[in-house]
């Protein structure tokens, strides 16, 4: 494949990556822990923190633990979704680079 063909493939790859990035921003996942619900985008931006059980507010240490746990779990879910969606682009990238 010539240089122009490779450039065309790279353009298609970039366009596809931008499309997926927009989709990931609109895709939301959540996790709950001890009465706390954290929602994040698949671009790993925290969108909301909800207190589902107000009794968790009685103990700052417990509140902090559950907020941290819910946030970390939501972010891991977001990473998994993003990685799954990016598999196709990564495969295209290998082909555009000549299989290197």
Tens digits of residue pLDDT in 4-22: 666 777 788 888 888 998 9
Task: Identify each DSSP E strand in 26-91 by its residue range.
Answer: 28-33, 36-41, 46-51
Reduced to 3 states (helix: H, G, I; strand: E, B; else coil), residue 44 is: coil
Beta bridge mates, 62: none
24 close to 41: Cβ distance less than 8 angstroms = yes
Instruction: Give the C-alpha separation, 18 to 25, whole Å.
Output: 11
- pTM here is 0.77
pLDDT average, residue stretch 81-100: 69
Sign of the alpha-carbon dihedral angle for 75, 47, 89, 77: positive
Tens digits of residue pLDDT in 13-69: 888 888 998 999 999 999 999 999 999 999 999 999 999 999 999 999 999 999 999
> CA 34 → CA 47, 53, 77, 80, 92, distances in Å?
19, 8, 18, 23, 42
Name which residue leads in pLDDT, 74 or 1: 74
Q: What CATH class does 3-92 carry?
A: alpha beta
Domain boundaries, the chain: 3-92
Residue corresponding to tokens 């929602």? 39
């Amino acid at each position: 494949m010539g240089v122009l063909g490779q450039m065309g493939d790279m353009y298609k790859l970039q366009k596809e990556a931008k499309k997926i990035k927009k989709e990931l921003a609109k895709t939301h996942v959540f996790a709950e822990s001890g009465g706390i619900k954290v929602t994040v985008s698949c671009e790993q931006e925290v969108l909301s923190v909800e207190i589902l059980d107000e009794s968790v507010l009685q103990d700052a240490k417990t509140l902090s633990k559950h907020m941290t746990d819910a946030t970390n779990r939501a972010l891991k879910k977001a990473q998994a979704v993003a990685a799954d969606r990016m598999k196709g682009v990564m495969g295209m990238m290998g082909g555009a680079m000549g299989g290197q």
